[in-house]
Amino acid sequence: MKVIAYKTPLVKAKDDLFQIIADAIPYLPERSFVVVASKIVSTCENRFVPKVTGERSEKHDLVRQEAELYIEPHSSKYDLMLTIHRNWMFVNAGLDESNADNQYILWPKDPQASVNAIWQFLREHYQVKEVGVTMSDSISIPLNWGVIGHAIAYCGFNPLKSYIGKQDLFGRPMKMEQVNIMQSITAAAVLEMGEGAESTPLGVVRDVSDVEFLDHVPTEAELASLHIELEDDAYAPILTRADWKKGGKRQ
């Protein structure tokens, strides 16, 4: 696997995302993956909310509007809100203040639609048939300090590699094992892209073995097959006992 992070000028509200990609990435070979930081997509969509008071309560109110489910901040010693947003569980529903120039910046309005559009653009602009796209954000791992990159949307490839039914080294059939291709590729790319002031919000990943590329945007059934309902998750004993509140969808 080879990963290259690409530098861009400072992205501003309502900039042309496709032009930013075209200017930054000079060449894209077949069977590559392009990882796009969610923050530049949000910036191009002008997904900013001005700070009025700057108080924590102001941010918490925005999180309640963004999240489908949330846990009140008083439950956290760090005054953070654990949330579920678009079937991802993470802190503050993607609401961020870093690199946002004294504003709050929200997730892209529809990450999947944005990734689908980027995939179409890459195929036409670079004249490639097999290409994958993911949109990255940061996420923390329970019981570990630090964040890693994770994908919040994908297009152009099968995101899972299944070992179900195959035998392990000792002939034992594997029953549940699947490798999450989209998360693995995105985490590797974000390691190179950085989390601060690097100005490298685009990454290209090449030479990934054993990936099934697809010639269509994900269907609803394909998207649904990737996600696990809260009650079916391996962490359900914890998740189902949490004091979740229903949020209000912000438009």
Whether residue 151 sits in one domain with residue 32? yes
pLDDT band at 136 (very low <50, low <70, confident <90, very high): very high
Whether residue 34 sits in one domain with residue 156? yes
Q: Give all strands (DSSP E) within the chain, no chain letters.
A: 2-6, 32-37, 48-50, 69-70, 82-85, 88-91, 103-105, 131-140, 147-155, 160-162, 178-180, 202-206, 245-246
Residues 122-130: contacts with CB within 8 Å, 24+ apart? 122/21, 122/28, 122/34, 125/18, 125/21, 125/22, 126/25, 126/27, 126/28, 128/28, 128/29, 128/30, 128/32, 129/30, 129/215, 130/30, 130/31, 130/156, 130/213
Whether residue 88 sits in one domain with residue 156? no
pLDDT reported for residue 96? 87
pLDDT reported for residue 62? 94
Whether residue 39 sits in one domain with residue 59? no
Each residue's pLDDT tens digit, 161-186: 988 999 999 999 998 889 999 999 99
The answer as to whether 223 is a domain residue is no
Whether residue 114 sits in one domain with residue 96? no
Each residue's pLDDT tens digit, 200-247: 999 999 999 989 999 999 999 999 999 999 999 999 999 999 999 999
Whether residue 68 sits in one domain with residue 27? no
pLDDT reported for residue 250? 58
Residue 13 pLDDT exceeds 90: yes
Sign of the torsion formed by the C-alpha atoms of 168, 226, 28 and 200: negative
Residue 251 pLDDT exceeds 60: no
Whether residue 182 sits in one domain with residue 131? yes
The answer as to whether 200 is a domain residue is yes
Q: Which residue has the tokens 């032009």?
A: 19
What mean pLDDT comes out for the span 38-65? 94
- CB distance 24 to 7 below 8 Å: yes
What mean pLDDT comes out for the span 54-65? 93
Residue 153: CATH number of its domain:
3.30.1330.100
The answer as to whether 224 is a domain residue is no
What percent of the chain is modeled with pLDDT above 90? 86
User: How many independent structural domains does the chain possess?
Assistant: 2
Residue 219 and residue 20: Cα distance in Å, rounded?
A: 27
Mean pLDDT of the chain: 94
Count other C-beta atoms under 10 Å from residue 51's C-beta.
14
Residue 249 pLDDT exceeds 70: no
The answer as to whether 89 is a domain residue is yes
pLDDT reported for residue 248? 85
CA distance to 75, 80, 164, 197, per residue, from 93 (Å) = 16, 10, 33, 22
Host domain of residue 59: 48-106+229-251
pLDDT band at 54 (very low <50, low <70, confident <90, very high): confident
Each residue's pLDDT tens digit, 66-121: 999 999 999 999 999 999 998 899 999 989 887 778 899 999 999 999 999 999 99
What's the CA angle centered on 163, arms 162 and 168, to 5 degrees?
170
Whether residue 53 sits in one domain with residue 42? no
